[in-house]
Amino acid sequence: MPTYIDPLLYGSLPTKPNTMGMEAVLTDKVDVGLLSEAVESLRERFPYFYVRPQIAGTDLVLAPNDLPVVVRDSWEPTILVSKETNYHVLSFKCEDKRLAAEVMHPVTDGSGFMPYFKSVLFCYLSKRYGIEFDRTGFRLPGDEIPDSETGSPFSEEAVDAVKAPFYVKPEFKHFMQIKEPDSTWRAIKIKMAADEVMGRCKELDASPNALICVLLARAVHKIQPQDEKVILGGIAVNRKAILGNTDNYRCFADLAYIHYKPENLDKDLSLMCTVTRGQVIMQTQPENVLFNLKKMKEGMPTLHGIPSIGAKMLFIGSMAGHRRTTYTVSYAANRTFGPLDPYIEEFYVHAEPVPSAVVIEVSCINNAFFLHFEQRFKSEALLNAFLDELRLAGIEPEVLRKEAYLTSDVRYDDLKIPVVEEAKTAWDGFLASFKR
């Protein structure tokens, strides 16, 4: 029976896939055969990613998957946990010089997937160029797997002992929503000089995610100046790292909620960044994380009491899929891939925009910040307003490309789950309507 630390796969539905990924643009065209070899070479080092969902009573659990991970020479999306991807929770794709890995988000988060993606690049580039790179900082075949990576991320914590949270953020049931959404997913790739970003952060006593959160709030207000509702930003935080574990692969990402009253957004930028950091600090105290984990643990008997997997999917999926913020910002704090840096031109993290219509995923490598600006609409009004705010803050952004954001879905092909079967039937009917 799964515990509160185990992946809640019910959060990934055919209608709400909840997937994430990482993408790198390399200096040379990707060799799909060598990439496949690199992916398979890491099977024993990262066994928890080479898995497939299985039914155990009224639960979904993960079991080893001996079939090869699918690596496709195409940028078109696929369907995880389907026959096309050998029922795996992850898959890879490549096109020209870029490659990407996609995974079910309930299995892992950015901090858990980053070491794996780095290791895939290490093994691939080693094979591609015949170079023996320095292994320091990488998890590679033959290395011992520590308990901190695969065991409970909170084994050292007295989760049951916490009595109350340090701080409870007031709930905002009514907050500003972007009025553009039309379900057209777009991804805009933006590059910024790291010295410009970090220089401004130092002057403002801000972190990159706090600065971007404020600038995006100003951009939202600029395109919807008559809307008086609070703008509610979400900044991704890592509950494992807050409690001292940076190794574990499990998904324990969370959001710190940052609210801005529209009338305050024209105040001094340094003040707004300080207010943002203060709101994050208040919500990321260890007592808050422990109390949250305690509530998760106490809620497991209720979840186990739900009589079917389909019902659990409807319950968890509805919670995971509802709109919680005006926008979300996530910063992957990794700044280097060590000896691999000269072979990487761009690096991005991306996640299906579940909590909001706009998500900015921030990453940094080779003295440059890369933004994966994701939106669920065609209009570029918000994008242009945000780019203007960056320039006003003394940061010159470079838009590298604009493209359809093609995320992979989830289907559970070999499992008979009523909710999945119904969703698949509806989807097949939708596709058939275009063929008539």
Tell me what the pLDDT averaged over the chain comes to: 92
Confidence of residue 42 (pLDDT cuts 50, 70, 90): very high
**Structure tokens belonging to residue 281:** 């600090």
Helix (H) or strand (E) holding 327: strand 327-331
**Better-predicted residue by pLDDT, 433 or 85:** 85
What's the whole-number mean pLDDT along residues 56-66?
94
Q: With 80 as the cut, is the pLDDT of residue 420 above it?
A: no
Report the pLDDT value the prediction gives residue 333, as an integer from 0 to 100: 76
Q: Tell me if 216 sits within 8 A of 329, measured CB to CB.
A: yes
For residues 96-118, average pLDDT: 96
Residue 301 in this model has a pLDDT that exceeds 80: yes
Question: What pLDDT does 2 receive?
Answer: 86
H/E element holding 128? helix 110-129
Give all domains of the chain, ordered by start, each with its CATH number. Answer: 170-312+321-404 (3.30.559.30)
Looking at residue 431, its pLDDT comes to 45
Q: Is the pLDDT of residue 102 over 80?
A: yes
Give pLDDT, residue 432: 55
- 317 vs 336, more confident: 336
Distance of CA 340 to the CA centre of its chain: 23
Stretch 138-157: mean pLDDT: 95
- Residues above pLDDT 90, as percent of the chain: 80
Q: What is the pTM of this model?
A: 0.93
Query: For residue 427, is pLDDT > 90?
Result: no
- Residue 423 clears pLDDT 50, i.e. is over it: yes
- pLDDT grade for 13, boundaries at 50, 70 and 90: confident
Is residue 328 within 8 A of residue 234, CB to CB? The reply is yes
Higher pLDDT, 429 or 275: 275
Position 422 confidence tier, pLDDT thresholds 50, 70, 90: low
Indicate the pairing of strand 90-95 with strand 98-104. Answer: antiparallel
Count of H helices and E strands in the chain? 11, 16
pLDDT higher than 80, residue 429: no
Average pLDDT in the 218-231 region? 96
Least confident of 29-33, 205-209, 249-253, 414-418: 414-418
pLDDT average, residue stretch 296-313: 90
What is the average pLDDT across 101-129? 97
Task: Give the angle 328-329-332 at the CA atoms, nearest 5°.
Answer: 140
Which SS3 state, helix, strand or coil, does residue 219 take? helix
66 CB-near residues (< 8 Å, 6+ apart)? none
Which pLDDT score is estimated for 190? 98
Which amino acid is residue 26, in one-letter code? L
Q: Looking at residue 68, what DSSP letter applies?
A: P
pLDDT at 425: 60
pLDDT of amino acid 430: 41
379 pLDDT above the threshold of 60: yes
Confidence category of residue 54, pLDDT binned at 50, 70, 90: very high
pLDDT over threshold 70, residue 434:
no
Q: Is the pLDDT of residue 392 over 90?
A: yes
Cα 169–chain centre separation: 23
For the chain, percent of residues with pLDDT exceeding 70: 96
Of 407 and 142, the structure prediction assigns the larger pLDDT to 142
